[in-house]
């Protein structure tokens, strides 16, 4: 009986210690503030460059594609920029570019980050006919950036616990979303006979609207296609585990960059590949950027 009580006491103390550790993680401080700032600015810069490339394309699209707008007041407010762009596209893009320049230099302001999310969502609506996975990923990542702002501070009993909890929770959820993207993609490929056999890369070779014409002789060797398929599967599944380990984090990111550069080269979807490379920034630590600055 005494031994059982002793074991129970040990378990309860361990549980209490874990709860306190988790509580301290979320409330003690803003985790990796430099990382989240750099991540947000990278998304802003990415959006700026993307707008410059799609500006003329959007003008052509709107000549043949009519945006269906909601009748509700909430829907109209949500899509107000898209409604404006439907009539005054050049004015909309000029305003968007001006805002992005301003957002890049401002510190982590909640309002700026909310407006950035608002912009990315409407960009997705405006360019829906040519949208790909990058557009959805962009406005989802921009959504997590809102609570990762830190100004102006909200003081409750002279402590910023709520603000810190929202910030740190958003940071983790943003990381989980990226990890989940690779997990789902990896599991889907693992359960597909087409991917396990390597035939997927053979089929990619015949996708004229995706496959890079600069590589006319690529992906014709069945052995190489089999190796490439399993390298893809293993990377996506191992990413889920290795990205959290401080000893393998940097190496995983380097491999991830190479992986996405391969997607860029073969499938000619630079916007998606570039955005996924940018997403790796959220896994870095402030000390990583400090070491890079110091040349270590």
DSSP per-residue string spanning 213-235: TT-TTTT--HHHHHHHHHHHHHH
| 128: DSSP letter | G
Q: Does residue 103 lie in a domain region?
A: yes
Cα separation, 60 vs 128, whole angstroms: 13
Per-residue confidence (pLDDT) for residue 296, from 0 to 100: 57
Q: What is the dihedral of CA 227, 232, 235, 237, to 10 degrees?
A: -120
The gap from C-alpha 230 to its chain's centroid, in whole angstroms, comes to 24
pLDDT in tens, 2-42: 555 566 565 555 555 555 566 566 666 778 889 999 999 99
- Alpha-carbon separation of residue 88 from 54, 58, 94 (angstroms): 15, 12, 10
Rounded to the nearest 10 degrees, the angle between the axes of helix 133-145 and helix 33-64 is 140
Per-residue confidence (pLDDT) for residue 254, from 0 to 100: 95
The tokens 């209490």 sit on which residue?
16
Based on the fold, state whether residues 64 and 140 are members of the same structural domain.
Answer: yes
Mean pLDDT per 10-residue segment, the chain (296 residues): 57 56 66 91 96 87 75 85 88 95 89 94 86 86 91 58 87 94 93 86 66 59 82 94 93 94 81 93 86 65
Q: Does residue 122 lie in a domain region?
A: yes
Domain range for 75:
31-152
Q: Does residue 126 lie in a domain region?
A: yes
Based on the fold, state whether residues 73 and 134 are members of the same structural domain.
Answer: yes
Cα separation, 126 vs 60, whole angstroms: 12
Per-residue confidence (pLDDT) for residue 178, from 0 to 100: 94
Q: Cβ atoms within 10 A of the Cβ of 196, count?
A: 15
Q: Does residue 2 lie in a domain region?
A: no
Cβ atoms of residues 233 and 189 within 8 Å = yes
Q: What is the mean pLDDT of the chain?
A: 83
Cβ atoms of residues 154 and 162 within 8 Å = yes
| Pair of tokens at residue 228 | 């490439």
Q: How many domains does the chain have?
A: 2
Total-model pTM: 0.85
pLDDT in tens, 233-250: 999 999 999 999 989 999
Per-residue confidence (pLDDT) for residue 154, from 0 to 100: 60
Secondary-structure percent of the chain, ordered helix, strand, coil, rounded to 5 = 75, 0, 25
Per-residue confidence (pLDDT) for residue 146, from 0 to 100: 94
Beta-bridge partner residues of 159: 156
Backbone angles phi, psi at 236, to 5 degrees: -65, -40
Based on the fold, state whether residues 133 and 94 are members of the same structural domain.
Answer: yes
| 68: DSSP letter | P
Cβ atoms of residues 51 and 97 within 8 Å = yes
Q: Does residue 164 lie in a domain region?
A: no
The gap from C-alpha 105 to its chain's centroid, in whole angstroms, comes to 21
Residue where a domain stops, chosen among 103, 119, 152 = 152
Q: Does residue 208 lie in a domain region?
A: yes
Q: Does residue 62 lie in a domain region?
A: yes
Per-residue confidence (pLDDT) for residue 241, from 0 to 100: 94
Backbone angles phi, psi at 151, to 5 degrees: -130, 140
Per-residue confidence (pLDDT) for residue 209, from 0 to 100: 56
Based on the fold, state whether residues 40 and 140 are members of the same structural domain.
Answer: yes
Based on the fold, state whether residues 197 and 134 are members of the same structural domain.
Answer: no
Per-residue confidence (pLDDT) for residue 210, from 0 to 100: 58
Per-residue confidence (pLDDT) for residue 130, from 0 to 100: 77
Cα separation, 175 vs 169, whole angstroms: 10
Q: Does residue 13 lie in a domain region?
A: no
Cα separation, 59 vs 68, whole angstroms: 17
Cα separation, 156 vs 27, whole angstroms: 13
Residue where a domain stops, chosen among 115, 137, 152 = 152
């Amino acid at each position: 009986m005494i031994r059982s009580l002793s074991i129970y006491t040990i378990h309860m103390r361990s549980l209490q210690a874990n709860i306190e550790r988790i509580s301290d993680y979320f409330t003690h401080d803003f985790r990796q503030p430099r990382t989240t700032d750099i991540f947000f600015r990278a998304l802003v810069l990415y959006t700026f460059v993307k707008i410059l490339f799609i500006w003329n394309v959007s003008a052509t699209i709107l000549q043949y594609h009519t945006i269906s707008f909601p009748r509700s007041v909430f829907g109209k407010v949500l899509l107000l920029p898209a409604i404006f762009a439907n009539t005054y596209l050049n004015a909309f893009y000029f305003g968007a570019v001006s805002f992005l320049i301003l957002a890049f230099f401002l510190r982590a302001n909640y309002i700026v980050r909310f407006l950035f999310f608002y912009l990315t969502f409407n960009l997705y609506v405006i360019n829906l006919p040519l949208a790909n996975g990058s557009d959805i990923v962009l406005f989802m990542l921009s959504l997590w950036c809102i609570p990762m702002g830190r100004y102006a501070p909200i003081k409750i009993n002279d402590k910023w616990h709520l603000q810190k909890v929202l910030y740190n929770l958003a940071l983790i959820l943003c990381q989980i979303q990226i990890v989940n993207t690779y997990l789902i993609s990896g599991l889907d490929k693992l359960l597909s006979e087409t991917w396990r056999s390597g035939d997927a890369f053979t089929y990619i070779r015949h996708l004229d609207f995706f496959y890079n014409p600069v590589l006319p002789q690529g992906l014709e060797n069945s052995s190489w296609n089999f190796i490439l398929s399993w390298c893809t599967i293993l990377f996506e599944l191992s990413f889920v585990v290795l990205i959290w380990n401080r000893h393998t984090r940097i190496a995983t990111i380097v491999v991830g960059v190479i992986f996405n550069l391969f997607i860029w080269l073969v499938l000619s979807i630079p916007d998606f590949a570039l955005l996924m490379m940018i997403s790796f920034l959220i896994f870095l630590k402030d000390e990583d950027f400090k070491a890079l600055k110091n040349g270590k």
